[in-house]
Amino acid sequence: AQKVTQAQTEISVVEKEDVTLDCVYETRDTTYYLFWYKQPPSGELVFLIRRNSFDEQNEISGRYSWNFQKSTSSFNFTITASQVVDSAVYFCALFYYGNNRLAFGKGNQVVVIP
């Protein structure tokens, strides 16, 4: 079965600090996709980043960066120089063919204090 674990529930940071969210996943498939979504108070899930299992290169996109470690089944996400607008719930999710669904973790509530 597919499983996504996000250990921390709520994380508070002071504005301009960096915040890293941990995600550990379980899957028996060799080809899969990992995602991070943001859910602000308005409720809509906003797609942030996607990583394919066969591409372990870590990247940076603006203030977002991610660290994909296939050997430890981890897909961590970092927001650099946090802003108040980053306050939201962040979900890690796993997708693979044959299941055709996203399996989500429980989410991390990020609170950025001005």
Partner 1 sequence: GAGVSQSPRYKVAKRGQDVALRCDPISGHVSLFWYQQALGQGPEFLTYFQNEAQLDKSGLPSDRFFAERPEGSVSTLKIQRTQQEDSAVYLCASSLGTSGRDADTQYFGPGTRLTVL
Residue 68 CB, shortest distance to partner 1, in Å, is 16
**x-marked contacts with partner 1 along 53-92 as a string, rule CB under 8 A:** --------------------------------------x-
- Asked if 50 touches partner 1 (CB under 8 A), the answer is yes
Q: Which of 103, 108, 113, 101 is nearest to 39 (CA)?
A: 108
CB 86 within 8 A of CB 18: no
Interaction between residue 95 and partner 1 (CB under 8 A): yes
Tokens of residue 68, six digits? 């994909």
Residue 84 in 3-state DSSP? Answer: helix
Residues in contact with partner 1, counted by CB under 8 A, come to a total of 23
